[in-house]
Chains A and B, each alone.
Chain A
């Protein structure tokens, strides 16, 4: 058990890789065995990540826990170094859960080249988990890029009619961001020793040698010259904003989503996009505080454009999947809006909304995938009145629609409300823009639901559709539970986030907690703020 506890993150991250390597030796004709094995590995991957919830020290959620490190490339100062705080804890659980759900959802959908499919799914899983646990920038970057390759194949081999176009577009777009990100990382890498040599406190902890340690970079953040911060922020911005995706870098997303197989879309929406927002939270904000504050107007403007533009475009879509894809653009705009409010409410809401988006949009892609498997079309106009013949399906769809809209008592409400609260504390117009996004969101989602589920069942092709089977229900139940859980009792989640969020705010706006703005003290809001000096 000791061994397990000290190496738990490594085990969580590399278990899927190990499973994939074993899978390579399976006979490719024996599809049942392959499916069983892949699902078992994915499920086990989730189960080994569950103990993190209980072992995690919530009192100290702002510092890195379960850390483990050893020298990897001595000449560069790169280490294999892992550890998580409250933010990465939630994202890791999201990844392992959605990973196993996505694997299960592929049981019937994937009939061709089954073995390779599951190998790529498992490799992708390791790539994503590596990104969230890395405490070394070099290692982070390796995982960040490695994960592109399996995703490229998932879209390129098992995707829709324009799969090759979508796959290479995804790859190249993300790579543009990645290479600029690398240049930004290198700029920090070369800057570190000079600063560490001048500040004894930093030198005492992290040394004065070249390092990729993310915590060391956090430490030099306040000492970096603004000029350097400015350019590195822009490099990071391109890298992360493409991944989020923020307007105007979002154009790869609808293509990738529409063409990807269902499980690919689920992973893409639920986890991959979070890598971008995670990048902002983990790197841009704490390492480049001055530049972050400087760029707030630009970031907020782009977020608001994304919220409204994404919603408007979503409304016009004829294809269910691209509707959900554009809704992602809008929702991720929300996440970014909350983040760059740069106060505890905004950031708490932003990170919780990332989890919510993973759950809800993941579920919506599963739902669209289920209907596609039955009818082999996703045209909204092909459907109507499905609620009469698929009651279970209609119920789940309704729950997820409501969650996406932000109905109280469901998860979306908590996230959006907290974000708006954070936005309001800074500028009332940010909140106004956000609210208009919610209204538009309600419009396109309800309209979608109305057009497909209600009305007469007038398309004869739909008459024979069967309701969800047990496997499909199993894939959705965990998500439904989470939707209600976060909606009704979000405290445990906020408990994990408070520590890291307060640390972030303190890093970006030193002295913030010494004089909290009045709005944070208003009665009747979800209590996520922290008393002064509570840190």
Chain B
């Protein structure tokens, strides 16, 4: 047992353990249960158990496994995001998988395993833990992206994502090994100490910083490592894309914050210009590419690239406001983006692929309520009040203005305007264009519930953000 492992440490990672253990049970249950919908309910139950265990940990601030994982408000905040995102994803998946005729129990187990990996990415304070968490998540996601076995697009997306993902993990690992070489430790705090003892122009430190940053930029889909996103998001099952675009992104940001705000923080002056350039390019390239898309999945994929760029603004600001903005944005983004993707999921029907902007034509005339809900999500993504998206963007802008990055703020702000253009194209299709015989949705109780939850939170956070800002602020006190 010793210093490295104590029995109490098991309690600290109980939420993750629950996901792993019950995920295995789910795999076995898959062999005997023929109605896969029951597995969906079972996995929701497992997520609830994990959430309950997480809740029991409360505000506890401690570290376990000799400083390998940290149990702090930051980690808990993100873990709740992952659990919520996973639950919402399962809510929109059942009907969709039936329609795609690929309804298998492994789907739910993979989501649970990916969620577990993410939880370690949020709580890890050691490069090894972080990396293993990342890979657990990534491998589960590779499989999920290729889940539509009979669909060439899905297979292609999965392979592409896998190859590029493996390559970027390699780069990341290379950087991590350099950090280990410099400091003789994989612990983030010790790495920070070692780095601060070296001259800032030390080439090895810089190479380590650049390689780690590149690996992370790939995971959050920042320029110039964003190319995989449109293909993966378009080819993957829409429900998996919904999951990836919010949870995988949030987890990668959580890991990035840990590494860059603790481990490589001594090199902040060096990584700041890199981040600033990447941030502006990511926002702009994502937005500009989204302008011309006629495929709504690809459009939302590019829009998610630009959103990642926006989140980087908070990291660049790097102060309390900035960190609050980052975690608040990721929380808000979970609901508004999952909400929008839920509608894309519902567009898929037996005979209609439903991923074109034209497939939304006249949706308002057939489903006025759903179209209005989608309008709210799009306005929120665009950052128009009184939606959550506005509050989140407001916070990001507040942080960069506070820290004096005015030019960056102006460039990002002008990009908000570009975003409106393509979000409004979807609005035009839904509200102004005539409906066709293709117009329609495959709704299910699960989908409607998810839409309702996402809508309520998107509007509530927009109108009364106080408790959520408080929560986000509390989560970032560790930095």
Contact = CB atoms under 8 A, between A and B. Distances in A.
Interface stretch (A148-156, A195-203, A507-515): A148-156
A164 B424 CA distance: 10
Interface string A156-172: 11000000100010011
A33 B42 CA distance: 50
A319 interface: no
Nearest to A176: B417
B130 to A, nearest CB: 30
B398 A171 contact: no
A190 B399 CA distance: 10
Interface in A380-402: none
A34 to B, nearest CB: 15
A153 B371 CA distance: 14
Interface string A174-205: 01100110110011011000000000000000
B278 interface: no
A522 interface: no
Contact of B431 (A157, A168, A179, A190): A157
> What DSSP secondary structure best describes chain B's contact surface?
helix
Interface in A245-287: none
Contact of A146 (B384, B417, B432): B384
B385 A190 contact: no
B97 interface: no
Nearest to A76: B469
Contacts of B406: 183, 231
Contacts of B98: none
B431 A182 contact: no
A179 B417 contact: yes
Contacts, number: 73
A182 B394 contact: yes
Nearest to A172: B417
Interface stretch (B2-10, B163-171, B408-416): B408-416
Contacts of B385: 141-142, 145-146
Given A171-B420, A183-B397, A157 B432 contact: yes
Contacts of A74: 466
B470 A186 contact: no
A469 interface: no
A75 B469 contact: yes
A73 B464 contact: yes
Interface residues of A, number: 30
A171 B419 CA distance: 12
B414 A73 contact: no
Contact of B397 (A145, A149, A157, A182): A182
A149 B379 CA distance: 9
Nearest to A189: B398
> What DSSP secondary structure best describes chain A's contact surface?
helix
Contacts of B398: 186, 189-190
Interface in A443-473: none
Given A75-B466, A180-B410, A175 B401 contact: no
Interface in A83-127: none
Contacts of A141: 385
A235 to B, nearest CB: 9
A72 B466 CA distance: 8
Contact of A164 (B401, B417, B432): B432
B409 A183 contact: yes
Contact of A156 (B401, B414, B432): B432
Nearest to B364: A116
A328 B428 CA distance: 29
A72 B463 CA distance: 9
A180 B413 contact: yes
A190 B432 CA distance: 42
B413 A172 contact: no
Nearest to A164: B428
Contact of A73 (B413, B416, B466): B466
B354 to A, nearest CB: 23
A476 B416 CA distance: 40
A186 B414 contact: no
B402 interface: yes
Contacts of A179: 413-414, 416-417
B465 interface: yes
A72 B467 CA distance: 11
8 contacts: A142-B390, A156-B431, A168-B420, A180-B413, A182-B413, A183-B397, A183-B413, A186-B402
The 8 closest A-B pairs by CB, nearest first: A179-B413, A186-B401, A142-B385, A75-B469, A175-B417, A190-B402, A176-B417, A73-B466
Interface of B: 379, 384-386, 390, 394, 397-398, 401-402, 406, 409-410, 413-414, 416-417, 420-421, 424, 428, 431-432, 464-466, 469-470, 473
Given A149-B379, A186-B398, 14 more contacts: A72-B466, A75-B466, A142-B390, A145-B385, A148-B384, A168-B424, A171-B424, A172-B417, A172-B421, A180-B410, A182-B413, A183-B397, A183-B406, A186-B397
Interface of A: 72-76, 141-142, 145-146, 148-149, 152-153, 156-157, 164, 168, 171-172, 175-176, 179-180, 182-183, 186-187, 189-190, 231
